[in-house]
Structure 1
Amino acid sequence: MKNVFKWVYHNTLFGKLLIYSFHTSKNRFWPDQLVIRYNYWKSRKKPLNLKNPQTLNEKINWLKLYDRRPIHTQCADKYEVRSYVTEKIGEDYLVPLYFQTQNPNDLKPENLPDFPCIIKANHDSSGGIFVYEKHKLDYPDLIENFKKRLNKNYYSSTKEWQYKNITPRIIVEKLLITKEGEIPLDYKVHCFNGKAHMIQVDIGRGTDNHFRNWYYTDWTRCPFKWTARLGEKETDPADFDVHPPKELNAMSRLSNILSEPFDYVRIDWYDVDDKLYFGEITFHHDSGCRPIKPDKWDYKLGEMVQLSNNLN
């Protein structure tokens, strides 16, 4: 029977319309908990335990459903989070902001700086557009791109509530480049109950040699991996190490401050020639749907996260 459904989907218009209707109705009309359970089952091929979550991934999904405070909306917004960071640790750690708008038609040469910058949306996770020479941009294509992005609500597909009420806008920031002319590594600090626990370092992002190393805050290797799937490849750890950032201790200390209100959160940083810049705050790493291997570490890490009883 499974093969019959596959054949109908791949070989008939009816099959494709049926699947499209299913996913559209799922995102629009299904209760959030049902969508979260379905997405987890689709990815992990096992049911999600929300009544008594044990693993880190289960607790991330529990938080997705039950920890829905206004501070999440502010911190998930790449524009509004700047005021949160300024209040908690000071504005010195913010990437310089050159321009912001809610209207894609404002993307004109006169509104962009004459030096490298990055253009991105404040409400999604689709990355940004690197601009080295603004006169080489295809502006009609750029405007069309951001019209589509600003019309998308990330909440509808993942039910990550923090994205639901963000006012979409475009932001233009300084493009961080090292003295060697390279894009710096980003360090993703995973925090449990307001304390930095482990740091994810992505190497070779956007290439066929994309690796993901995991370190504790003393820069010893973690005995597990938590990979993302990119096409046919997973972001496994590399067989080599990267040097710890010079500001490693400051990175952990500042992450503790920023993560204080949350049971679990990821605080992202850039280290550019030994100067720290805040990147973003992410509440549900890989939407809580990627396996931690060996499996026992999903449970061990889950034990370290204490879920609050006074949410909402």
Structure 2
Amino acid sequence: MNTEKILKKVYHSVRPVKYIFRKINRFKWWCFENFLSDKAFAQKKFKTGMGYKLNLESPTSLNEKINWLMLHDRTPLHTICADKYAVRAHVTKKIGDEYLVPLLFHTDDPSRLTPENLPEIPFIIKTNHNSAGLEIVYDKQKTNWSKVRDKFTQLLKQNYFTASRQWQYKNIPPRIVVEKLLSDNHGNLPEDYKFHCFNGKVRMISVDKDRNTNIHSRTWHDINWIRQPFSWSNKRKNNAGYTDPLDHDLPKPKSLEKMITLSEKLAEDFDYVRVDWYNIEGKIYFGEITFHHSGGRCPILPKEWDINLGQELKFIKSSQSKI
């Protein structure tokens, strides 16, 4: 048995050793998140995710350019758009409020998450200031509200900037948002259409099916709904593989042209942005605005497509940003 196998056996079989290693690892991550500069943080995370050194002096790939934007493209509008509550007013101003998911309740006080304050219909509870942390409620009478309140008490204390160094999250006032739960005619959660915009124009569209499951997939199309020959995948829930494209075609969604038009309207202020939509039998709802897809550190495969797409993205608006 080699040294590595012996150490793994000791780690998994001797509880005090496992405990000590976990404490050391958590301390290392705490130091990593709190003491590295934004640039050093980006370089470290990029190398871990991509397997090679990040080039910030003359970025060429799409992932490299996203990291450059993360460090250099910072405006108050980025914070507004990343705030899942404040963005509603921005969307209303740009395209109208008819595309917003119905807002049922909002608060900055988790103790107000009680059945009396919430509707009878299914809804989703989420925070406005990070990219995770939600609770789907189908029946409020069967929900453990003490557990939900504890969960959101902890979530409100977090600052997603610390863990991601995505500046737009840094100054968002934490809030809890409750929206109507969208579902199709069969009661299923709707597919998630993500419109990736380069310099104000939709370049590609990803369709996320079966989100937050072990079969989550992400399939790519252009604006004419032609399948694209690349993947840009994340790890699935429970590490059950990756969100690779499906091996069959997906039907062109109703109101595709409308979603493209609205996405480009919302994207006109930025060099790169992702605008998300839900589409239920042609009725479209705005999802969110994201500036740094997957943190700019998930491989696009084949690798040449990372370069090809990067060459298409130009730094125009970002040259006017103030850090």
TM-score higher than 0.5 here?
Answer: yes
Q: Is 1:100 aligned to 2:110, yes or no?
A: no
**Contact 2:214–2:240 (Cα < 8 Å) also in 1:** no
2:167 is the alignment partner of 1:151: no
Larger displacement relative to structure 2 (171-180 or 103-112)? 171-180
Distance 1:14 1:190 in 2: 43
In structure 2, the CA distance between the partners of 1:9 and 1:288, relative to structure 1 (3 Å rule), is farther
What residue is the counterpart of 1:236 in the other structure?
244
Choose from 183, 187, 199 the match for 1:181.
187
Counterpart of 1:58 in structure 2 is 64
Partner of 2:122: 116
1:90 has 2:72 as partner:
no
Q: Secondary structure at the match of 2:149?
A: helix
Cα deviations by residue, 1:19-65 (Å, 9 ceiling, x for unpaired): 22221111112111111111111111211001110000000000111
The reply to whether residue 23 of structure 1 matches residue 29 of structure 2 is: yes
Question: Per the alignment, in what secondary structure is the counterpart of residue 220 of structure 2?
Answer: strand
Q: Which one is further off, 166-175 or 236-245?
A: 236-245
CA distance in structure 1 between the partners assigned to 2:39 and 2:252 by the alignment: 40
Structure 2 equivalent of residue 299 of structure 1? 307
How far residue 210 of structure 1 moved from its aligned partner, in angstroms, is 1.9
Kept in 2: contact 1:76–1:162 (CA 8 A): yes
Whole-angstrom distance in 2 between the partners of 1:204 and 1:189: 18
Aligned counterpart, 2:167: 161
Match of 1:131 in 2: 137
1:9 and 1:19 in contact (8 A); partners too: no
- Please say if residues 93 and 278 of structure 1, whose CA atoms lie closer than 8 Å, have aligned partners that are also in contact: yes
Q: How far did residue 12 of structure 1 move?
A: 5.3
Q: Does 1:46 align with 2:52?
A: yes
Separation (CA, whole Å) in 2 of partners of 1:127 and 1:275: 26
For 1:197, what is the secondary structure of its paired residue? strand
Offset at residue 18 of structure 1 (A): 2.9
Aligned length: 312
> Which residue of structure 1 aligns with residue 40 of structure 2?
34
Looking at structure 2, the residues matched to 207 and 241 of structure 1 have their Cα atoms a distance apart, in angstroms, of 20
1:95, distance to aligned residue in structure 2 (A): 0.6
Aligned mates of 1:247, 1:203 — CA distance in 2 = 18
Q: Determine whether 1:265 maps to 2:273.
A: yes
1:149-169: per-residue Cα shift (whole Å, max 9, x none)?
111111001100000000011
Residues 61, 307 of structure 2: 8 Å contact kept = yes
Identity %: 46
User: What's the TM-score once normalised by structure 2's chain length?
Assistant: 0.92
One-letter code aligned to 2:214: D
Is the 8 Å Cα contact of residues 65 and 310 (structure 2) preserved in structure 1?
A: yes
C-alpha change, 1:235 and 1:12, in structure 2 (3 Å) is closer
**Cα offset, 1:281, TM superposition:** 0.4
The root-mean-square deviation of aligned C-alpha atoms, in Å, is 1.9
Structure 1: how far apart are the matches of 2:257 and 2:218? 21
Q: Does 1:74 align with 2:45?
A: no
Match in the other structure for 2:233: 227
Whether contact under 8 Å (2:113, 2:145) holds in the other structure is yes
Would you say the 8 A contact 2:126–2:134 is kept in 1?
Answer: yes
Cα distance between partner residues in 2 of 1:220 and 1:192:
18
1:235 Cα deviation from its structure 2 partner: 0.9
Does residue 290 of structure 2 align to residue 278 of structure 1? no
Cα shift at 1:72: 0.6
- Output the amino acid matched with 1:19: N
2:224 alignment counterpart: 218
- Unmatched runs of 5 consecutive residues or more in structure 1: none
Q: Tell me whether 25-34 or 282-291 shows the greater mean CA deviation.
A: 25-34
Q: Are residue 205 (structure 1) and residue 215 (structure 2) matched?
A: no
Q: Which amino acid aligns with 1:276?
A: I
Unaligned runs of 5+ in 2: none
Does the CA-based 8 Å contact 2:133-2:155 persist in structure 1?
no
CA contact (8 A) 1:79 1:171 kept: yes
Distance 2:134 2:24 in 1: 33
Question: Contact 1:9–1:16 (CA<8 Å) still a contact in 2?
Answer: no
TM-score by length of 1: 0.95
Deviation at 1:15, TM superposition (A): 3.6
CA distance in 1, matches of 2:183, 2:21: 48
Deviates more, 1:219-228 or 1:196-205: 196-205
| CA positional deviation for 1:254 | 0.5
